[in-house]
Amino acid sequence: MPWTDWKPLYPKTPFTESSLRETLDGGQAFRWKRIESENIWEGIWGRDIAQLTLAPKGALAFRFPEGHEGASLSSLNNYLLLDTDWAQRIDQLPWRSDPALKAALEAQPGLRLLNQPFPETLLCFLCSATKQIPQIKIMCENLAREIGSPLFPKGPHALPTWDQLSHVSEAFLRSLGLGFRAKNIKKTADLITQSPGILETIEALPYAEAKAKLLEFPGVGSKIADCALLFGAQKYEAFPVDTWILKSLRKRYGLDGWSNAQMERFGRVHLGPDAGYAQQFLFAYERANA
């Protein structure tokens, strides 16, 4: 596949090699891969595809497949949230009074959140239950290849839409390696297609109401709902509590014996309106030190 020439992008907050990797391939998104032996990342979101690489001074360079540049640049800018002042957001977090958070922030300078399409974020995280990142990526890849539409003739595939998912059987989803997640995805697809516009509605709702609606979908519990809202709907109050955050809060904050619900509440109360952003640092930090 021929690509255009590299062009520069200047994010308000600079990247590093490590923050680029952690942002694209650290568990927020599941469709980025590193091109062999080169420091190039290739990723697909919605109906767009791009390659990225680090440029001098924390800038990025990007390119698109030749002939498919279309509206991609504004989409890329929006996806990567290049105009967001992440340093300013970090400064608002309570790191001054929280040594554990301070250490996590300093370990991953340049880490940021992505702004992924909401419907596919929900799908990816429905796949994520009790799976590790490499396995989740394989499931997403299978879904895209077998059910999703090609981005352009002979091109790679987008993740399937919920409408496309509603047209396949649970057995077929199981054949893609989804296991018990197949039933949840199938049922969720049926519910979504029965209520046209429901995901757009949910995405536009305030955090608490959006979460309550998401919890009505089978297979979507508190953690998956928070991931979909944080990574796919820019609800930064969302504080997904997974096994890593559980470990982090137990070990570094001394919250032994707390329930997941209590942990969630602690995160949102202690870390504030950008709790989800802080969560991403704690998550990366805990995983790096595993």
Binding site for DNA (CB under 7 A): 26-28, 128-136, 174, 177-181, 183, 215, 217-225, 227, 240, 242-245, 259, 261-262, 279, 283
Q: What burial class does residue 156 get, using C-beta atoms within 10 Å of its C-beta: 0-12 exposed, 13-18 middle, 19+ buried?
A: middle
Nearest to DNA of 41, 64 (CB atom): 41
Least CB distance to DNA at residue 64 (A): 26
The secondary structure of the chain in percent helix, strand, coil, rounded to multiples of 5, reads: 55, 10, 35
Q: What is the DSSP string of 20-72?
A: HHHHHHSSS-S-EEEETTTTEEEEEETTEEEEEEE-GGG-EEEE-BTT--TTH
Nearest to DNA of 75, 135 (CB atom): 135
Non-local (6+) Cβ contacts of 254 within 8 A are none
Least CB distance to DNA at residue 60 (A): 21
Q: CA-based angle 62:63:66, to the nearest 5?
A: 170
Contact 71, 87 (CB under 8 A): no
Nearest to DNA of 9, 264 (CB atom): 264
Least CB distance to DNA at residue 67 (A): 33
Least CB distance to DNA at residue 245 (A): 6
CA 205/CA 235 separation, integer angstroms: 10
The two structure tokens encoding residue 2: 């021929």
Non-local (6+) Cβ contacts of 91 within 8 A are none
Least CB distance to DNA at residue 156 (A): 22
Which among 261, 210, 213, 212 has a CA at the least distance from the CA of 233?
Answer: 210
Least CB distance to DNA at residue 27 (A): 2
Nearest to DNA of 157, 183 (CB atom): 183
Nearest to DNA of 134, 206 (CB atom): 134
Least CB distance to DNA at residue 283 (A): 4
Nearest to DNA of 247, 270 (CB atom): 247
Nearest to DNA of 95, 285 (CB atom): 285
Chain-centroid distance, C-alpha 186:
21
Alpha-carbon distances, residue 157 vs 44, 63, 233, 262, 285 (angstroms):
8, 18, 23, 40, 33
